[in-house]
């Protein structure tokens, strides 16, 4: 192992794929229990590693020298072994977070910013905020003078919130570290978490029309800066953006919504095959897991029981990444499903003329006129979707989705 990422739990990490985009062919995930950190730092024969939670501060005693950025931030996320064997610690989170703010276009100058968390990442955040001239940067922690119980009372005039905690990170999706409702002046939310693509915190801010950004661009930028330290390379902003776009598009699910019979399953299967992605049809997952057909569940237990199952399995299926997912036509009948679909996915509304929709084997479509269902659901499909696409046939529609996602089918020759 020459290069890799040091952390406690790394199942969520995209780092090996990311560093490969920047030219590092061998990059390992190094999971180390806290009690084993001393022996690892004293005996491991690496050339360069990145460091993530919870070790950004804990590795410092084993280092011979810190960069000014690491010293100011009080944490290290990049370690390089020098020719003499000594270890040099740097903090590319600082440059990465600065790049994230520029990318997001969230204005922090002369603003009051709440920084959630007090770990190593928070130190980098404070360093950048100070340099960018914020009016105040307030640390919010569980046991600090400003905590999650009193922050809304003490600082209701906060302009921006930065989440530097792991709360809401995969696999703990759907949880927010703070309720943003009391902060009437809030104009920006920055979440350093990159998996899922949109955390519960980000989604709650989006609903209020607040400018948001997740942490993936920061992850990509700090990785580029780490590669510069490892190999003496130099990456331009366009290189970082290209890697960000490729990684994000490969990781986000493609979710198909639309009326029953609009072609979600057929197009989803063809699209998944073209991209060599896993395909999951939520209705089929429910049937496989319960051992019962959808019509049987409707007939014997009613629609409410089915809708509860649909929400449960939508959460399970959409929590992953890099899939093509077909939903049932009624997934939009429960508001809580919106965040489950959007947290890690591009949501595509497949449009098909009502006269062309098939209703055989679809319990709701058989019991309620299609025109009535369309009037109820189409406005929600439009509201929830990131893109609206006419189903003009399997191959043309698959091609349109691939072009929209800036993806290429597997097996094509690279130019």
Active-site residue numbers? 56
Q: How far apart are CA 77 and CA 23, in angstroms?
A: 19
Question: Which among 254, 385, 382 is positioned nearest to 325, based on CA atoms?
Answer: 254
Closest CA to 55 of 100, 116, 127, 6: 6
Using DSSP bridges, classify how beta strands 48-51 and 78-81 pair: parallel, antiparallel or unpaired: antiparallel
Q: Strand 211-213 relative to strand 188-191: parallel, antiparallel, unpaired?
A: parallel
- Mapped onto helix, strand or coil, the DSSP state of residue 350 is strand
Parallel, antiparallel, or unpaired: how do β-strands 87-90 and 78-81 relate?
A: antiparallel
Residue whose token pair is 């990490």: 13
Tell me whether the omega of the peptide bond preceding residue 15 falls within 30 degrees of 0, making it cis.
Answer: no
Q: CB-based contacts of 333: which residues, under 8 Å, 6+ apart? A: 307, 377
Closest C-alpha among 96, 61, 369 to residue 226: 96
Q: What is the CA radius of gyration of the chain?
A: 24
Secondary structure, 3-state, 47-92: CEEEECCCCCCCCHHHCCEECHHHHHHCCCCEEEECCCCCEEEECH
Any bridge partners for residue 161, and if so which?
114, 189
- Taking CA 306 as the corner, what is the angle to CA 301 and CA 308, rounded to the nearest 5 degrees? 120
Helix (H) or strand (E) holding 315: helix 303-318
List all residues 6 or more positions away from 306 whose beta carbon is below 8 Å from its beta carbon: 286, 294, 297, 298
Distance CA 205, CA 189 (A): 7
């Amino acid at each position: 192992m020459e290069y890799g990422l040091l952390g406690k739990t790394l199942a969520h990490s995209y780092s090996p794929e990311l560093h490969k985009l920047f030219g590092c062919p061998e990059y390992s995930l190094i999971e180390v229990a806290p009690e084993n950190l001393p022996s690892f730092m004293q005996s491991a024969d690496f050339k360069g590693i990145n460091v993530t939670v919870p070790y950004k501060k804990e590795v410092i005693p084993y280092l011979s020298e810190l960069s000014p950025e690491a010293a100011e931030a009080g944490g290290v996320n990049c370690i390089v072994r020098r020719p003499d064997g000594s270890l040099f610690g740097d903090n590319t989170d600082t440059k990465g977070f600065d790049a994230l703010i520029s990318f997001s276009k969230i204005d922090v100058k002369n603003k009051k910013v709440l920084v959630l968390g007090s770990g190593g990442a928070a130190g980098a955040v404070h360093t950048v905020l100070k340099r960018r001239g914020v009016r105040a940067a307030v640390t919010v922690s569980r046991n600090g003078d400003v905590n999650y119980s009193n922050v809304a009372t003490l600082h209701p005039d906060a302009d921006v919130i930065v989440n530097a905690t792991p709360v809401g990170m995969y696999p703990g999706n759907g949880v927010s570290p703070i309720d943003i409702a009391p902060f009437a002046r809030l104009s920006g939310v920055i979440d350093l978490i990159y998996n899922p693509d949109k955390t519960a915190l980000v989604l709650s801010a989006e609903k209020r029309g607040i400018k948001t950004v997740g942490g993936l661009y920061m992850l990509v930028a700090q990785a580029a800066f780490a590669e510069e330290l490892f190999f003496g390379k130099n990456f331009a902003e366009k290189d970082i953006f290209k890697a960000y776009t490729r990684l994000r598009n490969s990781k986000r699910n493609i979710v198909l919504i639309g009326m029953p019979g609009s072609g979600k399953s057929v197009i989803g299967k063809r699209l998944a095959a073209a991209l060599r992605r896993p395909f999951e049809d939520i209705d089929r997952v429910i049937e496989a897991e319960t051992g019962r057909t959808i019509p049987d569940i409707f007939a014997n237990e009613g629609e409410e029981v089915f809708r509860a199952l649909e929400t449960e399995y939508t959460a399970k299926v959409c929590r992953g990444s890099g899939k093509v997912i077909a939903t049932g036509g009624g997934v939009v009948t429960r508001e809580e499903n919106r965040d489950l679909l959007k947290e890690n996915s591009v949501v595509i509304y497949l449009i098909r003329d009502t006269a062309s929709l098939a209703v055989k084997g679809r319990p709701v479509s058989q019991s309620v006129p299609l025109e009535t269902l369309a009037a109820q659901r189409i406005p929600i499909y439009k509201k929830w979707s990131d893109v609206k696409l006419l189903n003009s046939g399997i191959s043309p529609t698959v091609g349109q989705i691939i072009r929209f996602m800036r993806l290429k089918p597997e097996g094509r020759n690279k130019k």
